[in-house]
Amino acid sequence: MAKIAEVVKLKSGYANFVELKSAFEASQENADRMAMYRPTKAHRAAFERICRGLYQPNDKKFYLLSGSYGTGKSHLCLMTANVLSRSSGDPEIAGFYENYAKLDSEKAKLLKNIRKDGQYLVAICDYHSGRHFEDVVMKAVFEACKAKGLNTGVETEFDEAERQLAEWQQKGDKGGIRNFYQDFGKALSSVAPGLSVEQLRAGLKNYDSDVLGKFCAAFKEMMGGVTFQAQAGNLIPILRKLVKSKDFKERFKGLAVFFDEFQYTLEKRAYAKDVLHGFMETICKNEPNVMFVGCIHKDFKSYADRFSKDDAAVMSARITQVDLLNEGIEEIIGAIVETDKKSEVWKKEIAPKAGVFDQLVPPCKSLDLFPWIADVDRIRQRVLEDIYGVHPMALSCLLKLSSEIGSDARSTFTFFSGDVGGEKGSYADFITNADITVGGGKLNLYTVDRLFTFFQKELSQKNPELREGQRQHVNGYYASLDALRKATEGGLLGFQEDERIQVLRAILICQLCQIPTSLENIQFGLYCLSPSEKKQVDGYLKDLVKNGAVFLRQQSKTYELAASIGEDPYDLIERYV
């Protein structure tokens, strides 16, 4: 029997990760990506929303670009950085506007007019450092100034500390009764054992606030309690002075700061609250020519529980969240999944049975599984045929789960591309092992319940990233599983082979994706076409209700997983400690 992999090839290279900073600085790679870029509808909407800050200076220009893993946030930031760093007449960016015009000529014309002259100073933050927000941004801005040969005329606390050390070193024993440089070295070894003066000076040049703190401590130690009084302020006054300086305004229209993987900074609270809030308000909102673009994987609300209620409210009021939605994502997936409709296997085994696609399209519309696709013919061709082998409800739920609970290893793109090695539950694993047809000659499709295997780690009760509503559903699944296990003790069939587990998993996935768990929807998600298949699932659900594993809500005619009886306190300790 032929396998699905015989008609589908995966082009995993398409989904390769974009390292924003290095890609922007590598001229050839940058130019190639610009020329190849074909923005989806969702990418265009997000790009245009960010560009609004160019002609509406009162916009809250602290933009958080939100989208699940692998949806192209870094790629979009790279394009935006290029557009801001070059005028629209620059030959190196001509291909970008040409491609944009093919998709939306009016918007392309508007964007070209907005960027017809001048350039922004683009600063790309190094998120790998793990350092505080203010340090990372300051380092990125001053590195960008240096790369452009801009003398900022702005001195920071780090510069003042380094200048003081340089003066002491130059004077040496000629400085009077003390050799301040040697004394400083002794004090430093006392407050920060193992850190040499040379290492400390390297850290100061790298805008490391932890190192600056050690400098201040050593200074105080050697000066008998006198503190180091720097004249420079923090990030806020430094950036204000920079963008208002004559040299800056003569060369640049503004400043654009990009911070990929910004969720790590939020998760770790790696920022000084007053500086971050001040940056949002004083710089990004009040300065007409400064914008910030940070990338996060989930809705900002997903990170808000890490802040106090007041902090979350303040930050929410000062940001503009730009959602990178799934509109047009079928185009990107279609570029990874290459279905060969000219092959003999397709012609002989799939094409004669392709009428099944017509049966699957109406529920796609009634359930609004792909709200951005209005044309039913497009659903049939671009979703069911081009992304062959995936049931439409499974694809819709994959997109939702990637956004809500996904990770860098579990995203829409790792699911299709095989970049996680074709792990269990992935599309790459499925097409390698799945026959073209199953019992009765029906075409074999990846069904919604299989997503549980792909997202099994994320759907663990021990996952601290689950939000409360999600946790309730996951706990309910395990409570239902436990009820089924108790009801089947002593049975002849192995518990793991019990097909009712597939039904429980389908209910869980539907609940997490806000799909009503009616009999018809569960049957559709499990790819029941014949009356006998539908009757079998109906029977499974009745057994599950009888065994207390699920509950039928009579008013809505929907099935719900069992109520959790609570978690083992030891599991809670293991999760959070």
The DSSP-derived string for 224-265 is: TTPPP--SS--HHHHHHHHHHSHHHHHH-SEEEEEETTTHHH
Per-residue confidence band for 568, with pLDDT thresholds at 50, 70 and 90 = very low
CA 298 to CA 465: how far, in whole Å? 11
Q: What is the pLDDT of residue 175?
A: 62
CA 281 to CA 279: how far, in whole Å? 6
Per-residue confidence band for 186, with pLDDT thresholds at 50, 70 and 90 = very high
Tokens (6 digits) for 343:
């092959």
Q: Is the pLDDT of residue 14 over 60?
A: no
Beta carbons within 10 angstroms of residue 307's beta carbon: 16
CA 263 to CA 168: how far, in whole Å? 41
Tokens (6 digits) for 186:
């002794």
Per-residue confidence band for 243, with pLDDT thresholds at 50, 70 and 90 = very high
Between strands 62-66 and 290-296, the pairing is parallel
% residues pLDDT > 90 (the chain): 57
Tokens (6 digits) for 392:
């439409």
Q: What is the pLDDT of residue 267?
A: 86
As to burial, measured by CB atoms within 10 angstroms (0-12 exposed, 13-18 middle, 19+ buried), residue 308 is exposed
**Closest among 22, 250, 53 to 153, alpha carbons compared:** 250
Which residue did the predictor score with more confidence, 27 or 464? 464
Q: Is the pLDDT of residue 154 over 80?
A: no
Q: Which of 177-181, 309-313, 430-434 has the highest mean pLDDT?
A: 430-434
Residue 54 · residue 114 · CB < 8 Å: yes
Beta carbons within 10 angstroms of residue 563's beta carbon: 12
Q: Which of 13-17, 130-134, 354-358, 465-469 has the highest mean pLDDT?
A: 354-358
CA 447 to CA 451: how far, in whole Å? 8
Q: Which of 29-38, 401-410, 471-480 has the highest mean pLDDT?
A: 471-480
Quick: pLDDT tens for 273-310. Answer: 888 999 999 999 999 999 999 999 888 887 776 777 88
Comparing 202-216, 319-333, 408-422, the range with the smallest average pLDDT is: 408-422
Q: What is the pLDDT of residue 320?
A: 95
Rg (C-alpha) for the chain, rounded Å, is 29
Q: What is the pLDDT of residue 284?
A: 94
Q: Mapping DSSP to helix (H, G, I), strand (E, B) and coil, where does residue 459 land?
A: coil
* Mean pLDDT (the chain, rounded): 87
164 Cβ contact list (under 8 Å, min separation 6):
228
Q: Which residues pair with 121 in a beta bridge?
A: 255
Q: Is the pLDDT of residue 35 over 90?
A: no
**Closest among 187, 145, 146 to 165, alpha carbons compared:** 187
Quick: pLDDT tens for 79-105. Answer: 999 999 999 888 888 888 998 998 899
Q: Which of 73-87, 315-329, 405-419 has the highest mean pLDDT?
A: 73-87
Q: What is the pLDDT of residue 381?
A: 92
Pairs from 104-110 (Cβ < 8 Å, separation ≥ 24): 104/44, 107/44, 107/48
- What does the pLDDT average to over 544-550? 93
**Closest among 139, 126, 51 to 96, alpha carbons compared:** 51
35 Cβ contact list (under 8 Å, min separation 6):
95, 96
Quick: pLDDT tens for 422-474. Answer: 688 999 999 999 999 988 789 999 999 999 999 999 999 999 888 889 999 99
% residues pLDDT > 70 (the chain): 93
Q: How far is CA 247 from CA 238, 267, 287, 292, in A?
A: 15, 37, 17, 21
CA 207 to CA 156: how far, in whole Å? 9
Q: What is the pLDDT of residue 492?
A: 45
Question: Helix/strand/coil (H, E, C) string of 291-339?
Answer: EEEEEECCCCHHHHCCCCHHHHHHHHHHCEEEECCCCCHHHHHHHHEEE
CA 65 to CA 73: how far, in whole Å? 7
Comparing 31-35, 161-165, 492-496, the range with the smallest average pLDDT is: 492-496
Q: Is the pLDDT of residue 268 over 90?
A: no
**Closest among 464, 399, 468 to 267, alpha carbons compared:** 464
Q: How far is CA 352 from CA 3, 32, 90, 233, 385, in A?
A: 17, 42, 52, 73, 13
Cα 225 off chain centre by: 47
Q: What is the pLDDT of residue 197?
A: 95
